[in-house]
């Protein structure tokens, strides 16, 4: 990483991802219990999470 600002961007994105996973857990649990609407929300959140993870990967590649 080049400087503190770069590291801050990566850590900020990582914190966002961890928060998203924590929020996703409730809908996944509800879906496992048979709540179909929770499954729809979980799948939508997983697609967003996939994009966020991809952004983090790109950030780490650019910063190296």
Is this prediction's pTM over 0.85? no
pLDDT at 4 over 70: no
Spell out a b/e string for 10-43, using b for 16 or more CB atoms within 10 Å of the CB, else e: eeebeeeeeeeeeebeebbebbeeeeeebeebbe
Residues 17-35: tens digit of each pLDDT: 999 999 999 999 999 999 9
> For residue 53, what pLDDT is reported?
97
Domain ranges, ordered by start, for the chain: 1-7+34-64
CA–chain centroid gap for 24, Å, is: 9
**In the chain, pLDDT over 70 holds for what percent of residues?**
89
> For residue 39, what pLDDT is reported?
98
Instruction: For residue 1, name the pLDDT band (cuts at 50, 70, 90).
Output: very low
- String of DSSP letters for 14-57: HHHHHHHHHHHHHHHHHHHTT-HHHHHHHHHHHHHHHHHHHHHH
């Amino acid at each position: 990483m080049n400087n503190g600002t770069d590291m801050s961007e990566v850590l900020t994105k990582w914190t966002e991802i961890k928060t998203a996973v924590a929020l996703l857990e409730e809908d996944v649990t509800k879906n496992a219990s048979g709540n179909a609407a929770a499954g729809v929300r979980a799948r939508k959140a997983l697609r967003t999470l996939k994009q966020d993870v991809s952004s983090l990967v790109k950030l780490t590649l650019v910063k190296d």
